[in-house]
Amino acid sequence: MIIGPADVELDMDLPTLGGGDFEDWMALKVVVDTGKCLGYANCIADAPEVFEMPEDEMIVRVLQEHPDEALRSAVEAAALDCPARAISIVG
């Protein structure tokens, strides 16, 4: 499943048959298009465990690229609440 803009380039490699990294490939992944981020900070309100914004910057940083499944609803809310549509969620 992908939530967010479709024009974000994602670095997803398909798992190879017989490889042991299928669970990693299926894990929740958060991607922010920093070129679109306008610093509204809605994402930080929704998921402070996953996003932060240094005081001297107006662009969000992803703290956890692969957050725990328990944070899925929070990061989905962050993607949906982002006015700039800068957040994509894969997995």
Interface mask (CB under 6 A) for ligand SF4, residues 38-57, using x and -?
Answer: xxxxxx--------------
DSSP letter at 14 equals: P
DSSP structure string for 19-82: -S-HHHHHS-EEEE-TTT-----HHHHH-TTTEE--TT-SS-EES-SS--GGGHHHHHHHHHH-
Stretch that binds ligand SF4, among 11-19, 23-31, 35-43, 69-77 (CB under 6 A): 35-43
**Sole binder of ligand SF4 in the list 28, 30, 31, 32 (CB under 6 A):** 32
Q: Does 31 bind ligand SF4 (CB under 6 A)?
A: no
Angle (nearest 5°) at CA 89 between 58 and 19? 130
Least distance CB 82 / ligand SF4 (angstroms): 3
Binding site for ligand SF4 (CB under 6 A): 32, 37-43, 60, 82, 84, 86-87
